[in-house]
Amino acid sequence: MNRFFLVFFLSAFFSIAQAQQVRLATFNIRVDVAKDAPANMWKDRAPMVNSLISFHNFDVFGIQEAQPNQLEDMEKGLPKYTVVADGKHNGLNSSAIFFKTAAYDLLKSGSFWLAPNPTDGNKAWDAKYPRGCTWVALKDKKTAKVFYYFNTHLDHVGVEARKNSTKLITVKIKEIAGDNPAAICGDFNFNQHDDNYKGIQQSSVLTDAFLLSPVKYTPNGTFNGFNITRSSEERIDHIFITKQINVERYGILTDCFSGKFPSDHFPVMIDVTFKK
């Protein structure tokens, strides 16, 4: 009898452990650029960005448009995180991934270009800039669960670039992650009514976490343009997931600080568990 209860207890314990919740996010932090002076300079926004991330306690998150000095400010302000970044993408701007150092082991990482040849760093199709995708394979130190997180920023000008990049991403995620749970976050520069979005939804690889979440907090769209009065339902920042992931909560975080936004985009956050 004692052995039975021991087995039952251990089974329950591992079941709970495997269902451990993970908080994923994406955040376009807005490039550090002089034309944002004086109201929205990075030196003033950096503490807001770091405070928002710390308070909402992201486990793993991707950022877009980060310049080297911005990455440095975030690394200093977020000492509990490890960052993986490829500064080649988008010129000097990086689509970086942060993860909690104490919670995860980095098994592998890499990147590929959004181009006909994913190893080619030149501009592709009708894109204005070279675009890429960064990824990590993480192992949860408590549960030993392995999952992949991808981060990208699609071109804001190229129509063909967004179309072809979307198709390439679905292929590469399957190729890199295999049957492991995977999610991709980023600024896709298309909303939920766009044909590229519909193409992802019709694929057998990825689904928008928004659609799967039973709890949604969406007080605004994901782009604000630093305009406190802007109202929209359009979501151009997304997190898409593979079928091995359960979504429990989805939120667009519209935090402001004394009437100022940390970025011209709002971060998107999801709470997930992994299916057995």
Tens-place pLDDT, residues 86-137: 754 444 467 899 999 999 999 999 999 999 999 988 899 999 999 999 999 9
Report whether 164 contacts 195 (CB < 8 A): no
Q: Is residue 178 part of a domain?
A: yes
Contact criterion met (CB below 8 Å) for 42 and 226 = no
**How far apart are the C-alpha atoms of 174 and 177, rounded to whole Å?**
6
* CATH number of the domain bearing residue 103: 3.60.10.10
Tell me the residue range of the domain where 198 lies. 22-274
Domain-located, residue 15: no
Domain for residue 11, yes or no? no
pLDDT for residue 7: 44
pLDDT of residue 6: 47
Q: Model pTM?
A: 0.92
Q: What average pLDDT does the segment 47-61 reach?
A: 98
In this structure, of 23-27, 79-83, 86-90, 223-227, the range with the lowest mean pLDDT score is 86-90
Q: What is the arithmetic mean of pLDDT over 58-76? A: 96
pLDDT given at position 86: 72
The answer to whether residue 133 sits within a structural domain is: yes
Residue 8 counted as domain residue: no
Residues making up the chain, counted from first to last: 276
Q: Which of 5-19, 30-44, 129-143, 172-186 has the lowest mean pLDDT?
A: 5-19
- Got the DSSP string for 129-198? S--EEEEEEEEETTT--EEEEEEEE--SS-HHHHHHHHHHHHHHHHHHHTTS-EEEEEE-S--TTSHHHH
Residue 97, exposed/middle/buried by CB under 10 A (0-12, 13-18, 19+)? buried
Statement: residue 176 has pLDDT above 80: yes
The residue-averaged pLDDT of 263-268 equals 98
With respect to residue 10, please indicate whether it lies within any of the assigned structural domains: no
* 9-18, 113-122, 219-228: least confidently modelled range: 9-18
Asked, for residue 5, whether it belongs to a domain, the answer is no
47-53 own/partner pairs: CB under 8 Å, 24+ apart: 47/77, 48/257, 48/260, 48/261, 48/262, 49/74, 49/77, 49/262, 49/263, 50/74, 50/77, 50/78, 51/257, 52/253, 52/255, 52/262, 52/267, 53/25, 53/27, 53/78, 53/98, 53/267
Tell me the pLDDT tens digit for each residue of 186-220.
Answer: 999 999 999 999 999 999 999 999 999 999 999 99
Q: Residue 38, preceding bond cis, omega within 30 degrees?
A: yes
Number of domains in the chain: 1
Query: Which of 37-41, 92-96, 249-253 shows the lowest per-residue confidence on average (mean pLDDT)?
Result: 92-96
pLDDT at 121: 84
Whether residue 35 lies inside any domain: the answer is yes
Phi and psi, residue 68, nearest 5°: -55, -40
- Spatial distance between the Cα atoms of 59 and 104, rounded to a whole number of angstroms: 9
pLDDT (average), residues 56-68: 96
Question: Which band of pLDDT confidence, cut at 50, 70 and 90, is reported for residue 16?
Answer: very low
